[in-house]
Amino acid sequence: MDKIYKTPKSSRITISELMLPSHSNFSGKIHGGYILSLMDQIAFACASKFSGTYCVTASVDTVDFLNPIEIGELVTLKASVNYVGNSSMVIGIRVTAENIQTRKIKHCNSSYFTMVAKDDAGKNVSVPRLTLTTAEEVRRFCDSLRRIRSKKEHKEQEELFDHTSLDMLQEIQNMDIKIHL
């Protein structure tokens, strides 16, 4: 069977939504959880568009909330496939908010969602391969490779980590933390 190749451009999705009072927390800022929900939706749409299948969220890399989003601002999320594995895809997402009166745009956060393509029975299915056509696409692909390798190294270190070691217990004591078991 011939492999299918697609460009990251073929996966691009943009959504915009006006932030309403119902999306806010008690301090009048937009709930981070609401933004995460929008990010999950666009990651699903992007991965499904690229793969032509139903996709599920496997993991979410760090989400740092860089700037608060205000009621009345227009939030725009942009997503594209940055990396593909056998059945997985790394979706890069950028979130901005625009004050519709001043037209000032601020970067609010970026994140990377790993999505997995599934068939109707819930089994993993292969996704199209990537054709990278710009230096920016190559950079994003390589950044994804670096993050994947870093996550694997971190997981290996966690498996070896011993929270009962004398060094660790001494470090806890030096932090003025009491342990009562």
Non-local (6+) Cβ contacts of 62 within 8 A are 111
Domains of the chain: 5-131 (3.10.129.10)
pLDDT higher for 178 or 154? 154
178, pLDDT greater than 80: no
Return phi, psi of residue 112, to 5°. Answer: -130, 120
Terminal Cα distance for the chain, rounded: 60
Let me know the angle formed at the C-alpha of 160 by 154 and 165, rounded to the nearest 5 degrees: 125
Question: What is the per-residue pLDDT across 153-174, written as a single tens digit (0 to 9) for each?
Answer: 888 887 777 878 888 878 888 8
- What does pTM read for this prediction? 0.88
> Residue 1 has what pLDDT?
59
Confidence of residue 177 (pLDDT cuts 50, 70, 90): confident
Q: What is the pLDDT of residues 44-101, one digit of tens each?
A: 999 999 999 999 999 999 899 999 999 999 999 999 999 999 999 999 999 999 999 9
Q: What is the pLDDT of residues 127-136, one digit of tens each?
A: 999 999 999 9
pLDDT surpassing 80 at residue 125: yes
Q: What is the pLDDT of residue 173?
A: 80
118 pairs with which residues across the strands? Answer: 54, 124
Residue 75's H or E segment, with its range, is strand 74-84
Question: For residue 71, what are the CA distances in angstroms to 34, 42, 46, 77, 157?
Answer: 13, 21, 26, 16, 42
